[in-house]
């Protein structure tokens, strides 16, 4: 039985890597749009964004929001590549959910450390945290499922091509 060639495996990895970067970009755009929607409907306290915008005045303008969306997209590509490295073969939904919870925990921890905020929760901050947690879970599910699906699809396509070439060479020998 012929083995799958290294050239085919490298080609598959490059294709999946490109798809993963694209998934990360789309995930970042969708995440940013939903984040802006949460800010617009005041489901997340504008004071959270004001602590950031006090330090960076650029975000008060429309082009600052566009730059923030681009920044979130680039950051999302990096996060998606991280997911690709650690969990591309796991296609269960709860892996993506736990990945989203993990990212939420990291972001909230870094926010509180960087801005010297108290970790005291009241009813308002609990609602905001739950809203953000739901957004991060949806992001983790999107990134997890899409990356795993792209990986599995390329594996299936590689095996199908390999079996097709094998059967056609066997057919020529008859």
Residue 1 falls inside a structural domain: no
Average confidence score pLDDT of the chain: 82
pLDDT of amino acid 174: 40
User: So what's the pLDDT on residue 68?
Assistant: 85
Is residue 117 in some structural domain? yes
Read off the pTM: 0.82
Domain-embedded: residue 172: no
Structure tokens at 141: 């599910």
Output the pLDDT for position 51: 55
CA distances from 25 to 21, 22, 29, 66, 170 (A): 6, 5, 6, 14, 43
Ranges of residues in the chain whose predicted pLDDT is under 70: 1-4, 45-60, 115-122, 164-174
How many other CB atoms sit within 10 Å of the CB of residue 61?
Answer: 10
In a domain, 130, yes or no: yes
Report the pLDDT value the prediction gives residue 142, as an integer from 0 to 100: 96
Instruction: Classify residue 169: in a domain, yes or no.
Output: no
What's the pLDDT score for residue 67?
87
- The answer to whether residue 85 is domain-embedded is yes
- Predicted local confidence at residue 55, as pLDDT: 57
- Tokens 């970067």, located at residue: 21
- Provide the number of structural domains found in the chain: 1
Range of the domain at 56: 6-162
pLDDT at residue 64, as a whole number: 79
Surface-to-core class of residue 164, CB atoms within 10 Å of its CB (0-12 exposed, 13-18 middle, 19+ buried) = exposed
Whether residue 174 lies inside any domain: the answer is no
Q: Considering the domain boundaries, does residue 29 fall inside one? A: yes
Pairwise CA distance, residues 8 & 165, whole Å: 12
């Amino acid at each position: 039985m012929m083995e799958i060639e290294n050239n085919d495996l490298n080609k598959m990895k490059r294709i999946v890597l490109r798809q993963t970067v694209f998934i990360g970009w789309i995930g970042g755009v969708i995440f940013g749009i939903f984040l802006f929607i949460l800010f617009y409907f005041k489901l997340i306290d504008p004071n959270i964004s004001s602590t950031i915008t006090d330090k960076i005045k650029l975000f008060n303008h429309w082009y600052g929001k566009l730059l923030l969306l681009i920044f979130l997209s680039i950051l999302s590509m990096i996060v998606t590549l991280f997911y690709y490295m650690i969990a591309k073969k796991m296609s269960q939904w709860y892996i993506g959910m736990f990945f989203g919870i993990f990212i939420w925990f990291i972001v909230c921890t870094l926010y509180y450390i960087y801005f010297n905020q108290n970790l005291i929760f009241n009813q308002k901050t609990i609602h905001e945290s739950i809203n953000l947690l739901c957004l991060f879970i949806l992001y983790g599910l999107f990134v997890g499922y899409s990356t795993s699906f792209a990986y599995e699809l390329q594996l299936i396509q590689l095996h199908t091509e390999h079996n097709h070439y094998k059967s056609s060479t066997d057919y020529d020998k008859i």
